[in-house]
Amino acid sequence: MIYDFNKKIERENTNCVKYDLRNVVFGNPDVLPMWVADMDFETPDFAREAVMKRAMHPVYGYHFKDEPYFKAIQGWLRRRHQWEVPLEWMSFVPGVVCGFNMAVLAFTQEGDEVIIQSPVYPPFHHAVSEHGRKLVYNSLKMGPEGYEMDFDLLERQAKSAKMLILCNPHNPVGRCWTREELQRLSEICLRNNVLVISDEIHCDLVLPGYKHTPYATGGKEAAEHCIVFHAASKTFNLAGLATSTAIVPNKELRDTYVKYVEAMEAHLGNIFGKVATQASMEQGDEWLGQLLDYVQGNIDYVSDYLSANLPKVRFFKPQATYMMWLDFNGYGLSEEELWRKMTQEAGLGFNRGSDFGQEGRGFFRINLACPRSTVEEAMRRLQIWQL
């Protein structure tokens, strides 16, 4: 089956954060919204059909995740990432962000140091600071080929930290961390007894030519000091169904974490997230392959356009995710002026870089999981603004 990613979907007036909150976020209801990390593509047919079939049953009562559900996830991780995950390692959580917030609460105390690698997804910051833990910034370094981890700084920081929250692959910079990088990170954290929380929600969105390495596959010892989070939500545009998986190889950590999640009554979830995830894990390979090729085409289009028409905008092509991280500091404008020009003059709704950390000042994150015509219009508006 050939899927049509050029099709435009009307999302206004559906309580859609990306479209219906434009005036609140940007002060302009007419910006072209390319910010929230969901797709403007149709959720695939097999996921929608699974939801509609279950919706025909007249009772939406309490339910549980059965063995076929977890086997579908197990099979997906085996096929896509060559990761053999025993069923007992897996448990339900209602979203990756919710999951790593509960991990912070379950395994650290107020005042404990938690490391994040900024610029990074804003909820990483909030999961630490909003719970009274101390944020420690192991800021990424800009290398000749893109962003890199600062291992020398991490060696010093890990001596007093209790936890590191890893973004693997990284949002927003688009790095697909190599096995060698993850092994070095693991060695540092193991020596210092630092628990690694690995957000792998974008792991299925690794672009052609790259490969995702699950953090826990860096050897038995790496698996023994981590909690990994996976979800179908970014991959298949299911974010509104609040369904994710915690994978905890270490039994002692797993028992503590599952007990905490159950005490919070956060272990049941909703019926429709269950059936949509299971269908996607069982039937989604071909759809995902076509999606990744299309997103790569959007990335190539933006890269070529910027290089030819807006040379002051610096960027590295992402290795994973459907976002690009664009550096506008070459214009010599303050972030506030860049924001005003982008939202009010160009009519573009991108994510503001400083929301990902101070390292992001002067940057914008742009979501390219949209029809090519949207990407073309965004580049046209950007060039007119620059002129």
CB 151 within 8 A of CB 188: yes
Whether 226 and 247 map to the same domain: the answer is: yes
Whether 181 and 316 map to the same domain: the answer is: no
Q: Residue 218 is part of a domain; what is its CATH number?
A: 3.40.640.10
In a domain, 6, yes or no: no
pLDDT band at 146 (very low <50, low <70, confident <90, very high): very high
Whether 21 and 79 map to the same domain: the answer is: no
State residue 386's pLDDT score: 81
Whether 279 and 206 map to the same domain: the answer is: yes
- Asked whether residue 220 carries a pLDDT value surpassing 80, the answer given is no
Whether 321 and 363 map to the same domain: the answer is: yes
Taking the C-alpha atoms of residue 120 and residue 99, their distance in angstroms, rounded to an integer, is: 17
Whether 205 and 70 map to the same domain: the answer is: yes
Give the pair of three-digit tokens for residue 115: 């490391």
- Asked whether residue 50 carries a pLDDT value surpassing 90, the answer given is yes
Taking the C-alpha atoms of residue 91 and residue 248, their distance in angstroms, rounded to an integer, is: 8
Domain boundary among 283, 306, 340: 283
Taking the C-alpha atoms of residue 353 and residue 364, their distance in angstroms, rounded to an integer, is: 5
Taking the C-alpha atoms of residue 314 and residue 242, their distance in angstroms, rounded to an integer, is: 35
Residues facing residue 137 across a β-bridge:
116
In a domain, 9, yes or no: no
State residue 231's pLDDT score: 98
- Gyration radius from the chain CA atoms: 21
pLDDT band at 320 (very low <50, low <70, confident <90, very high): very high
Place of tokens 């049941």: 268
Give the pair of three-digit tokens for residue 383: 């060039």
Whether 189 and 323 map to the same domain: the answer is: no
State residue 145's pLDDT score: 82
Taking the C-alpha atoms of residue 330 and residue 352, their distance in angstroms, rounded to an integer, is: 16
Q: Is the pTM of this model over 0.85?
A: yes
Instruction: Dump pLDDT digits (tens) for 80-127.
Output: 999 999 999 999 999 999 999 999 999 999 999 999 999 999 999 999
CB 67 within 8 A of CB 90: no
Instruction: Dump pLDDT digits (tens) for 331-374.
Output: 999 999 999 999 999 999 999 999 999 999 999 999 999 999 99
State residue 387's pLDDT score: 67
Taking the C-alpha atoms of residue 1 and residue 135, their distance in angstroms, rounded to an integer, is: 47
Whether 153 and 270 map to the same domain: the answer is: yes
Residues facing residue 135 across a β-bridge:
114
Quote the domain boundaries for residue 294: 17-44+285-386
Whether 293 and 276 map to the same domain: the answer is: no
Could you tell me which of 301, 299, 305, 303 has the C-alpha nearest to residue 321? 299
Number of domains observed in the structure of the chain: 2
10 Å CB burial of residue 71 (0-12, 13-18, 19+) is middle
Place of tokens 């890269």: 303
- Asked whether residue 137 carries a pLDDT value surpassing 80, the answer given is yes
Whether 293 and 271 map to the same domain: the answer is: no
In a domain, 7, yes or no: no
Whether 276 and 297 map to the same domain: the answer is: no
Taking the C-alpha atoms of residue 77 and residue 11, their distance in angstroms, rounded to an integer, is: 31
pLDDT band at 144 (very low <50, low <70, confident <90, very high): confident
- Asked whether residue 151 carries a pLDDT value surpassing 70, the answer given is yes
Residues composing the chain: 387
The separation between CA 224 and the C-alpha centre of its own chain, rounded to angstroms, equals 23
